[in-house]
């Protein structure tokens, strides 16, 4: 009887152990490449002045800005920018101070492009990534590459799985080739003066006046003889 009791208690304890392990929350390690995280790129149109004065975060964050939060220093709402492409590469720390990160072995570059809302997202396994903004599509000078670690640990110790970055680069301003009111030195902007210069016509006036006086004098002499 006692042996059966011991076996029952041992079986119950073993079952309780497995149940506790099964239902307990599992912690995902940062080096667990089976888990996926999300990298979000949010792009806004910035002028040269707005490039230095805006409310956009300067470093990766764990939350997205609302439309009303993305402003310049004058309080103007920033406009999203579509069609900007970014190259994503996995990197590893290096011992070279001039190049602190190197391309990871087996890296497969991926390119994503912002949509009409200026957003581009990609799911990635845990690791360190370099985000490179590509030139073209209205970008005059691409933003400096950004290094992002997934998942990312905030200063308060919180770990975030969704990371947001806000690349800053000025936008090309294209001048219209045919403005509505072009100013061309070769194109007259006033009605030309076709009447001539008064000083250049003075000799003509004197000749006509002389002819008129001679005619009047001739008529006077003729009438006197009559």
Q: Report yes or no: 41 and 33 within 8 Å, Cβ to Cβ.
A: no
85-93 and 162-165 strand pairing: unpaired
Q: How confident is the model at residue 93 (pLDDT cuts 50, 70, 90)?
A: very high
CA distances from 92 to 17, 41, 158, 163 (A): 40, 21, 23, 19
Mean of pLDDT over the chain: 74
Mean pLDDT throughout 195-199?
Answer: 41
119-163 residue pLDDT tens: 999 999 999 999 999 998 888 889 999 999 999 998 889 999 999
Q: How confident is the model at residue 21 (pLDDT cuts 50, 70, 90)?
A: very low
Q: Is the pLDDT of residue 76 over 80?
A: yes
Domain ranges of the chain: 39-165
Q: Identify the pLDDT of residue 36.
A: 86
Mean pLDDT throughout 180-194?
Answer: 39
User: How many Å apart are CA 118 and CA 124, to the nearest integer?
Assistant: 20
The architecture of the domain spanning 39-165 is Sandwich (2.60)
As given in the structure block, the two tokens for residue 76 are 């103007």
């Amino acid at each position: 009887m006692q042996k059966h009791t011991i076996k029952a208690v041992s079986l119950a304890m073993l079952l309780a152990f497995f149940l506790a392990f099964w239902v307990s929350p599992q912690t995902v390690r940062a080096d667990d490449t089976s888990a996926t995280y999300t990298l979000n790129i949010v792009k806004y149109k910035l002028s040269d002045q707005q490039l230095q004065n805006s409310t956009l975060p300067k470093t990766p964050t764990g939350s997205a800005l609302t439309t009303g939060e993305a402003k310049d220093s004058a309080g103007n709402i920033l406009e999203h920018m579509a069609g900007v492409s970014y190259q994503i590469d996995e990197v590893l720390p290096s011992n070279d101070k001039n190049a602190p990160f190197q391309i990871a072995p087996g890296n497969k570059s991926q390119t994503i492009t912002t949509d009409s809302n200026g957003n581009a997202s990609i799911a990635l396994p845990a690791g360190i990534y370099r985000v490179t903004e590509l030139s073209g599509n209205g970008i005059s000078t691409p933003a400096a590459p950004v290094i992002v670690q997934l998942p990312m640990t905030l200063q308060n110790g919180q770990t975030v799985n969704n990371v947001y970055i806000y690349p800053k680069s000025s936008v090309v301003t294209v001048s219209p080739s045919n403005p509505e009111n072009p100013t061309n030195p070769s194109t007259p902007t006033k009605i030309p003066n076709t009447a001539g210069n008064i000083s250049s016509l003075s000799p003509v006036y004197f000749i006509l006046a002389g002819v008129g006086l001679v005619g009047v004098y001739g008529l006077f002499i003729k009438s006197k003889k009559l």
